Every structure is written in C-alpha cells, then in structure tokens.
A and B are shown apart, each in its own frame.
Chain A
Amino acid sequence: MERPEPDRILDTSGSFCPMPIIETAKAVKEMEPNQVLLVLATDPGIVSDVPIWCKGSGNEHLGTEREGRVYRSWIRIRRREGSEG
C-alpha cells in the first residue's frame, strides 16, 4: 500500500494529549493548501483526535496507522471558505 508523500513530518512522540493535536494545528497553519502533513505520535489519543479535529477545521484526514508504539496520521491541508491562515 502506497502512503501519501508528506510535505512535512511532525514528530510529537513522547508528548501527551492534548499536546499532539495542539502542535498539529500549529503546523497545519504554517502549511499551504493541498500539502500533506504526517504526524507521528506515541499517544493513542491521536487516533480519535486527528479525524475529529480535521472535521472541525475543514482539513482532510487521509488515514492513521500504528507501527509498534508509534501512530502515523496523514492530513491533507484544506482551507474552509472564509477561514484565516
């Protein structure tokens, strides 16, 4: 299975919820529409937080997978109409 090629990788390993999603939101704001962010996390909360945060923020959750203790979550940057950043 081919994974999306990330434009940026954010490693939040070792930090606990809600810090990974706080860092994710910050990284997304610094990126351009259609770019892909790969978030690495060891906190299992990332599995539920990323898709839900994407739904609220208008970004696209491409998928999350687990490899050992590390979770990998891919986000495609979208901008909701009228939103800033």
Chain B
Amino acid sequence: MKRRPKALGLISGGLDSMLSLKIVRDVLGCEVRAINFYTGFCITETQRRKGTTRADGSVKANEALVAGAELETEIELIDISDKGYLDVIANPKYGYGANANPCVDCRIDMFQRARQLLDEWGGDFVFTGEVLGQRPKSQRRDTMALIEKNAGLRGRLLRPLSARLLPPTLAEEQGLIDREKLLDISGRGRKPQIALAQELGIASYPQPAGGCCYLTDEAFARKFFDILDHRDERRLEKEEIVLLASGRHFRISPRAKLVVGRTEGENFQLERHADGRYLLAARDHNGPVALVEGEPTWEEMVLASRIVARYGQGKEEPLVTVEWKKEGGVDELRVEPFRDDASFIQLRI
C-alpha cells in the first residue's frame, strides 16, 4: 500500500494558501502540518499591538488562525522576527521591490526555515499558495526557481495552484502525489480561485487587502530607510518595528529623530519603548507622548518640544512646558507651540 505523504504548508491565511491546503490534504490525501511565520511586519498584528479595533470595539483576529478555523486545521504560529531575519531584511542580496520589500530574500529565508522544519518532521515536501505570475517579482518563473534552489528545496517545493505549469516535484515523480490532480492557474486574476473555493467548500475567506506586510507600504518604507541611512551599520532591532509603524516621524537632524504618538495605543507603545530614548510630553496639558532617539542639541530639543506642544491641548497657549525624561532624570523646556504646520512639516519622514 502506498504510504501517506507528509506535507508542510506555509499558510498566510489568504485564499490561495487556504486552497493549497485543501488540495494537498483533501484532494491529494497528504498528512499536513500547517505553519505561519510571524515576521513582525504583519500589518494586522501591529495594529492589534497598537490597540486598533473594529468599529464595534472588537479586536481583529489573526488571519492565519481564522483560515485554520475555516479549514479545521491547527495553524502553528512561529516567530521568526529574530536578528537573523532582520539582518536579511536590512541587507538583501536580491534588493528591494517598490518599497522596503525584499520579497526574494524574505522568501528564501522563510523557505530555509521551512526546509529545516520539514527535515526535522520527516516530511516529503513544502507547499505554498503561490501562483505563477501573480506578483511582479517573487512569483515569476525564474525567481520561483531561484528561491527554491537557494532555500535548498529543489524538487521539494510544491505550488499546487500552478504546479502543472512548473517542473514536477520529486513527490510527483515518485508517484506519491498525482500531478493530474494539481492545477494550472497563473496571473493576477482571482476568478479561478473563487470558483475553486466554491467547489472545495470553502465558505469564508478574506478579501485581498492590498498586501499585509508593512514592508510593501510606502510611508513605512520611508521610515525604514531613514533608520538604515542614519546608522553606521545597516541593522534593525526587533523592538523598532512597532515604532516604525507608530506615530508621526520627524528627522530633526542627522543625530536625532522625533516620533509623536497619534492615538492612545501608539502613546502606550512609545512609553513601552522609552528605554535608551528621551520620553517627551507636555507637563500641564493633555496631548501626545513622544520619543526622541539620538543625541539632540539644545536647539533641536527646542524644535522637538515645539512640535510636541503643537499636537497637544496647549497648542493655543503662548508657552507650554514640555518634559524630557531619560533614565530617571527630568528636564523641562518652556516653548511656544508651532502655530503653523508649514514651519516644520518638511521634517516629516
């Protein structure tokens, strides 16, 4: 009797990955282990960290877990937002896409990790919901082959939705899975996937939301590159990711950067990350919390204080006292709030 193949699935929670899981498990009959890598750059997770809720006050659920519930499959969340991953993001061998998205390097790193898990588990192949030609760079035929090779998964990476347009995997060649049951979908359209979802009985799936990764976001990318460009060494700390996604950022000098919170949730996150930074707030008025990174001059401290005062309830006052806290010490600066955004908006990153 033919043994039951073991397949490790990378599940984002989107429709394509849900379909691929359903095909591998229910159509091909494989034993499936489903994982989702948490990179730290996921927009939904970061918004949840900042306390962003739906209109009714409820908290949005993790998208991969929602997919797991629909498919009655446990999705293992695995945190990969470690130094090794962040070094890849800050120094990509294959460069960035339109924004700060080094999709090829990111996928190679993820697939290398998947290969390690596959080998430890004794699995036959890794599968994903990738569709040939769906993304401009990372899902081109040549790039998909490059990623597969660099991840050490040659012949062991199955893309069920496009498999018949791609060379057969080892599992197909060995007769473990039936190539005839795989699909030949390509391109950016979604009609074939929607029809397939109906056929396979997937009742609920997320609508495409224009990407779920902050690295593909233009505003995030400006802040991301600003950090890297103002450091001697190209590196990013794990704790900085949520800061990059929080607040208004101002480059007040090559030595110093100001981040001003916009919501209660952002203020909370800024306070949590005050270690090693200056924590600013108006002393006598409600308003935002802000952080200053680096070593500002006195003039730059005045500038930052005037911006912070501008966003608080004392913005119409002639003078506002802004506290600067760092490592137990408190300094105070009494400044005139900026009256006009045009005076400082050019500093916005």
- A: residues with CB less than 8 A from B are 16-19, 21-22, 25, 43-45, 47-49, 52-53, 55-58, 80, 83
Task: Please tell me the size bucket of the interface on B.
Answer: 20 to 34
Q: Which of B49, B58, B75 contacts A16 (CB 8 A)?
A: B49
Q: Is the CB of B59 within 8 A of A52?
A: no
Mark the stretch among B61-69, B147-155, B244-252, B279-287 that contacts chain A.
Answer: B61-69
Q: Is the CB of B45 within 8 A of A17?
A: yes
Output the nearest chain B residue to A25 by Cβ-Cβ distance.
Answer: B76
A39 to B150, alpha carbons, bound, how many Å? 40
Q: Is the CB of B74 within 8 A of A58?
A: yes
Q: Is the CB of B45 within 8 A of A52?
A: no
Output the nearest chain A residue to B34 by Cβ-Cβ distance.
Answer: A56
Tell me what chain B mostly uses at the interface: helix, strand, loop, or mixed.
mixed
A48 to B64, alpha carbons, bound, how many Å? 12
A48 to B75, alpha carbons, bound, how many Å? 15
A19 to B58, alpha carbons, bound, how many Å? 19
Whether B83 sits at the interface, judged by CB under 8 Å, is no
A53 to B45, alpha carbons, bound, how many Å? 15
**Least Cβ–Cβ distance between B37 and chain A, in angstroms:** 11
* B69, B74, B78 pick with most chain A CB within 10 angstroms: B74
Residues of A within 8 A of B48 (CB): 16-17, 43-45
Q: Is the CB of A49 within 8 A of B72?
A: no
Give B53-90 interface residues, CB cut-off 8 Å to A: 53, 58-62, 65-66, 68-69, 71-79
Residues of A within 8 A of B62 (CB): 17-18, 21, 45, 48-49, 52
